[in-house]
Amino acid sequence: MMFALVDCNNFFVSCERVFRPELEGRPVVVLSNNDGCVVSRSNESKALGIKMCTPFYKIRHLADSGTLTVCSSNIELYRDMSGRVMSILADAVPRIEVYSVDEAYLRLDGMNEEAVYSLCRTVLEKVRKWVGIPVSIGVAPTKTLAKVAGRFAKIHKGYGGVCMMDTEEKRLRALELTPIEDVWGIGRRLAPQMSGWGISTALDFAGRPRGWVSGKLGVHGVRTWEELHGRVCIEAEKSERRKSICTSRSFAEMIEDEGELSRRVSDFAARCARKLREEHSAACDVTVFMQTNRFRCDLAQYSPYVTVRLDVPASSSAEIVGAALSGFRMIWRPGYGYKRAGVIVGNIVASDAVQPAMFGFDAGLRDKNDRLSKVMDAVNRSCRTSGRPLLHLAAQRSVESGEIMRCDYRSRRYSTLWDEIIEVK
DNA sequence: TCTGGGGTCCTAGGACCC
DNA sequence: TCTGGGGTCCTAGGACCC
């Protein structure tokens, strides 16, 4: 059995470059929401020493001097581009597993090495030619090893983007050359501990006895260890249905006003409800959280959250927003400047499996709410010209209404909005 | 002045039950 | 005075991922 990990290089930056070819070869970064910090870097900006998650204000001087090109994130564009890449992959093999917006695993069973290699080359070239996105592909017997191979495909030009780990010698050599902190599953917290235990490479880790790994790191560590030995442990595909859906934002300015914050929370809740309906799901739990500015040690901190339980799983905006607002009222305290808030809906089930409640929420009202949500969804689907919904509940205030979000370096919505596409032409 | 957003899984400890 | 033990479920928090 073989897995191929297909990974889009510097994905968000590469998406921007498709529509702005003049950025090729230049240092480019894409910023997070609110132009907060760096979330994607071109190789040239990595070479400048810019780290992932660097706050933008620390590198603003590079942008001002013209050294660095900065883009605000354009999530709709990236999602659209991701879909195009994934559909090419899905056409290439019988089974793919989309792991994230910029990564997917291909299952390559029953093929010999040459066939695998040639398939990977074809995929790489098609994605590059048809979508314009450069990818790296790592092939190995397990997903963790495919990640290792993918890293080599990315950092060593000699591979031409495809690295195959198809012999025992290559596996051992690759593990020897892979720092432990670059292994999938070894994160920020574990890496320093590893070095304390005298482990600096993946090979050092793989050389420890299984029992030792189990004692120190538990089942998670054992899985990684097994996978590095070439034995498949991480196979299960993610379930179809997400287990929780979160909508949250940091605010450009701190919010102190109760009404203002509750409108944002209502909006987050309505977005969660909409996402639920899009997936034909319903949720039993609605969690509301808010946070003060954790970087301002000089200010009082307060970061409460609460989960409101619904009697019957719901997906109508009215019910989800209602639950979120009741949670909001439980935890809101005056006198703080809130920098971030959000809503998480959890305990998600299929909406067609929902049993009507015998008591509690009135069935007639529920039905009315569901129908209202359907109508709103339909109207908003057919009237989306500005990227924001036309209809919303009175309690909401759209977080993307412009005046409250910063996005000074935003690219056009090249692939997703007709008015802007027409404008480009 | 200025620091993202959205997920998953595991585990320890408490509640509860017999 | 003396106060079991084991199993299961739930939850909060931590760690990881992109």
Q: Give the nearest nucleotide to A192, CA to C1'.
A: C15
Footprint of strand B on the protein (CB under 7 A): A 32-34, 36-37, 39, 52-53, 55-57, 60, 218-220, 238-239, 242-250, 252, 275, 293, 295-296, 339-340, 342, 344
- What Å value separates CA A51 and C1' B4? 14
Domains of chain A: 1-162 (3.30.70.270), 167-239 (1.10.150.20), 244-401 (3.30.1490.100)
pLDDT of residue A419: 38
CA distance A303 to A320: 21
Give yes or no for a contact between A406 and A252, defined as CB atoms under 8 angstroms apart.
yes
Burial of A305 (C-beta count, 10 Å sphere; 0-12/13-18/19+)? middle
Distance in Å from B18's C1' to A315's CA comes to 39
pLDDT tens digit sequence for A319-330: 999 999 999 999
Per-residue pLDDT, A389: 66
Closest nt to A238 (CA→C1')?
B8
The position carrying tokens 């639950």 is A323
User: Which of the nucleotides lies closest to A224 (Cα–C1')?
Assistant: C16
* Residue A239 confidence (pLDDT): 77
Torsion region of A87: left, alpha or beta (phi above 0 gives left; psi -120 to 50 gives alpha): alpha
- What pLDDT is recorded for position A399? 44
Through-space separation of residue A305 CA and nucleotide C10 C1' in angstroms: 18
Task: Tell me which residues of chain A have a pLDDT lower than 50.
Answer: 360, 385-387, 399-403, 417-425
User: Is residue A5 within 8 Å of A149, Cβ to Cβ?
Assistant: yes
Q: Which run of H or of E encompasses A7?
A: strand A3-8
pLDDT for A355: 63
CB A350 within 8 A of CB A280: yes
Predicted confidence at residue A406, as pLDDT, reads: 75
Which residues pair with residue A133 across a beta bridge? Answer: none
DSSP A51: P
